Amino acid sequence: MTNQTIIPRPASLWLIAQFELRKALSGTRGLIGLGAFILCWLVLLIYPIGSAANWLSQPGFIDMVRAFTEGQANEILSWKVPEMAMFWVLALYLFPLSVLMVSADMFATDRQQGTLRFLLQRASRHEIFWGRLLGHLILQTLLIALAIAATLLMAMLRQADTLAAGLQQALWVLPALVINALPYLALMALLSVVCRSSRMSILWAIIILLLGGLVIQLLTYNLPILSFMTDIIPGSQLSAMINTKGAGVLGHILIPVIQSLLLLAAGAIIFWRKRL
């Protein structure tokens, strides 16, 4: 393996990514997954997003919330399309959760069943690792774009002339949500390389995110000098991202980008060395 090509071949990367997309979206399992996603967002759109948009479109309600939050929600309240504002708040937390579910089995089952051995005869370990990651990244981007499109449609049903403003907001929201989901994708890539099953990958993700976050909170509370550790766990920047607007939604991308790079480097190295 010492002579293996470090730089993946683009054609192989793309083929592997395409196959991952087909795996996620086709067949009975894929269609059920897609159906569940659509159903969840339909319920969210009709109830929290649809209802909240009605309230947020009333000036009196906005003034009341501004007073209640002491100005801490000024940015989010000033979004031109209230449906997009509500979508933003929900999506910040829900899409990372969907990544944990959807990408938990990037490598685990195929590694245990020996399926990866068929691929290893035709593609390098780097191509398999980065190709599958690319496929999952494209999948998450498509799902986010689909949810944004549905939200914009909902907004247009309420008020027909919201499309232009909504698209402008979507221009920033889409990349921000994709980058926000990236550390979770990287974490699941790493865990599915290490764990024997998708179930164990999800369990360990929960332990790392919840228990790890709790431990770090306790440590930083007692030792403020360790406050930098709050940026170790994916999601540390989420609450700060809520009250942003326009290009400002991309103002906190540095932390998730660094987290992603570190997690992906660890995953790639382990996958390079692991017995498959």
Q: If binding is defined by CB under 8 A, does position 12 make contact with other proteins?
A: yes
Q: Are 154 and 45 in contact (CB under 8 A)?
A: yes
Q: If binding is defined by CB under 8 A, does position 9 make contact with other proteins?
A: yes
**113, 224, 225, 228: residue in contact with other proteins (rule CB under 8 A):** 113
Nearer to other proteins, 117 or 199 (CB): 117
Tell me the CA distances in angstroms from 16 to 33, 176, 180, 271, one per residue in order.
20, 25, 24, 16
**69, 78, 115, 217: residue in contact with other proteins (rule CB under 8 A):** 115
Tell me the CA distances in angstroms from 165 to 29, 83, 204, one per residue in order.
37, 11, 41
Cβ of residue 261: shortest distance to other proteins, in angstroms? 25
Q: If binding is defined by CB under 8 A, does position 17 make contact with other proteins?
A: no
Cβ of residue 103: shortest distance to other proteins, in angstroms? 16
Q: If binding is defined by CB under 8 A, does position 244 make contact with other proteins?
A: no
Nearer to other proteins, 122 or 149 (CB): 122
Using CB under 8 A as the criterion, which residues of the chain lie in contact with other proteins when the complex forms?
A: 1-5, 9, 12, 15-16, 19, 22-23, 27, 29, 110, 113-115, 117-125, 273, 275-276
